[in-house]
Amino acid sequence: MALAFNDEEHIFRSEKFRSVLEDALNFFRHIPVHPLPPTNVFIGPGVYGIYYVGDFPPYNLLTNISRAECNQPIYVGKAVPKGWRTGRSSEVERKDLHGRLAQHARNIRQVEDYARRTGISEYIKLEDFRCRFMILKAAESDLIAPTEAALIRTHSPLWNHTIAGFGLHDVGGKRVDQLRTMWDTLHPGRTWTQKLTGPSPDLENILAAIEEALRHLSSS
């Protein structure tokens, strides 16, 4: 005989979890802002936000929001310990978070170098980016994923929600037929994307999506 199903018997709720997560978000808001990448090397995984304060025209509204206090990230990401997905995280301390920020900086530098070589007049520059980061070690590393998700949900960062592709790695030689991402269409120059042979998204559609997203942010 089938038993009556009550989903309330399966839903876990925890005010303690909400409180801890709010503590993490509040801590993140008050972390000092650093250049991208941070000048000092540090150890540990965690969560980070990247902020844009430059003069790339499509991002003007974002710059107006972020220039004073860096309170609206353009991208939020995480760096997890090795083995995190399988629950076999290594006890060896690594530079996971610093390495991720340094990788992002290299990607932006490639875009900047490409623009200068090819004569593109409007482009993003590494000097116009800032970051803040929260290091989460030991038991607190279990907060990495939920903190990242909460930050993305709270801020709707442009490079997370509207312009996909910034966080991708080299796709490798077996997938060169895939299309170039929205991010790489707007910001060409990453070395590994030059070998992609698939069609690119429409640039005008990307610019229209940015305008709509930033209009929503500025009015909220």
The pLDDT value given to residue 1: 57
Give the pLDDT confidence of 103-151 residue by residue, as tens digits: 999 999 999 999 999 999 999 999 999 999 999 998 899 999 999 999 9
**Going by C-beta distance under 8 Å and a sequence separation of 6 or more, which residues neighbour residue 117?**
none
**Going by C-beta distance under 8 Å and a sequence separation of 6 or more, which residues neighbour residue 37?**
98, 101, 102, 104, 105, 131
Structural element, H or E, at residue 99: helix 96-118
The pLDDT value given to residue 86: 47
User: 129 and 111 in contact (C-beta within 8 Å)?
Assistant: no
Say whether pLDDT at 25 is over 50.
yes
Neighbour-count burial of 70, counting CB atoms closer than 10 A to its CB (0-12 exposed, 13-18 middle, 19+ buried): buried
Average pLDDT over residues 86-90: 51
Q: What does DSSP say about strands 75-79 and 129-135: parallel, antiparallel, or unpaired?
A: unpaired
DSSP bridge partners of 48: 77, 133
Say whether pLDDT at 12 is over 70.
yes
How many whole angstroms separate alpha carbon 170 and alpha carbon 155? 27
Average pLDDT over residues 19-32: 96
Q: What percent of the chain has pLDDT over 90?
A: 68
The pLDDT value given to residue 78: 96
Give the pLDDT confidence of 180-217 residue by residue, as tens digits: 899 999 999 998 887 777 788 999 999 999 999 999 88
Q: What percent of the chain has pLDDT over 70?
A: 90
Q: How confident is the model at residue 177 (pLDDT cuts 50, 70, 90)?
A: low
Q: How confident is the model at residue 9 (pLDDT cuts 50, 70, 90)?
A: confident
Look at 5 and 146; give whichever has higher pLDDT.
Answer: 146
Structural element, H or E, at residue 130: strand 129-135
